[in-house]
Amino acid sequence: GAVVSQHPSRVICKSGTSVKIECRSLDFQATTMFWYRQFPKQSLMLMATSNEGSKATYEQGVEKDKFLINHASLTLSTLTVTSAHPEDSSFYICSARGGASTDTQYFGPGTRLTVL
Amino acid sequence: QKEVEQDPGPLSVPEGAIVSLNCTYSNSAFQYFMWYRQYSRKGPELLMYTYSSGNKEDGRFTAQVDKSSKYISLFIRDSQPSDSATYLCAMKRGSGNTPLVFGKGTRLSVIA
């Protein structure tokens, strides 16, 4: 149980385009989903917390107009990187809280974004 | 001082060795402690979850929390090459949506 999927697993795009990443909880309802980014050999940095049906809460320094988060249902959250630039290239990972143990987070496999 | 400190390694051990991974933290409000394993280019996988002080064992893994010393450990017995990964400690102050604070992760290599 407690499986989280992400799609796509990797994406390469041109500078200036927008990219959407999906995060799904496959076997449980996730009241809360989290979005992280991870640079090589660095730890996970929380970008935002999203609750189903409400606006996401962004961490300090994260531009909400650049990283659009939608949590439309209890099993799906999306992160859209708008007008992507090379410095946005990173590993983006979502996690979901819910299931049998609501105090733990279950992570997706991550999406590697490369902006040319 | 960072909230959570973790030696990034790399740590290299022979197969069958006992591995000890550690984190220290500065915020005494942390109550929930977790260890995640992350393989290269994959998302973190939850290994152990502990509330407050004490020990927890699951197969070859043992997690220890010493809140008086603000120190947590993960022990891996009879280590295997498949244990080679980055191990991240994480902790949070309260239940619910309280954010996780991660250590930098320790890279472990188990040599056959």
pLDDT tens-place string over residues A61-103: 999 999 999 988 889 999 999 999 999 999 999 999 875 556 7
**Percentage with pLDDT > 90 across chain B:** 77
Query: Are residues B43 and A93, on separate chains, in Cβ contact within 8 Å?
Result: yes
Query: Are residues B46 and A91, on separate chains, in Cβ contact within 8 Å?
Result: no
Structure tokens belonging to residue B110: 């188990």
Beta pairing class for A57-58 and A30-38:
unpaired
What are the pLDDT digits (tens) for B34-60?
999 999 888 999 999 998 888 999 999
Grouping H, G, I as helix, E, B as strand and the rest as coil, residue B83 is helix
Place of tokens 């290269």: B40
Which chain A residue has its CA at the smallest distance from B6's CA?
Answer: A43
Q: Is A56 on the interface with B (CB under 8 A)?
A: no
What Å distances lie between residue A24 and A49, A93, B48, B51, CA to CA?
15, 12, 23, 27
The pLDDT of residue B82 is above 90: yes
- pLDDT attached to residue A99: 59
Per the CB < 8 A criterion, the answer to whether A106 and A31 are in contact is no
More confident residue, A44 or B18: B18
What Å distances lie between residue A87 and A14, A38, A41, A66, B25, CA to CA?
12, 12, 16, 12, 31
| Average of per-residue pLDDT values in chain B | 93
What is the DSSP track for A20-81?
A: EEEEEESSS-EEEEEEEEE-TT---EEEEEEETTSPPEEPTT--TTTEEEEEEETTEEEEEE
The alpha-carbon gap from A5 to the nearest alpha carbon of chain B, in Å, equals 10
The pLDDT of residue B1 is above 70: no
The alpha-carbon gap from A90 to the nearest alpha carbon of chain B, in Å, equals 11
Distance CA A42, CA A58 (A): 20
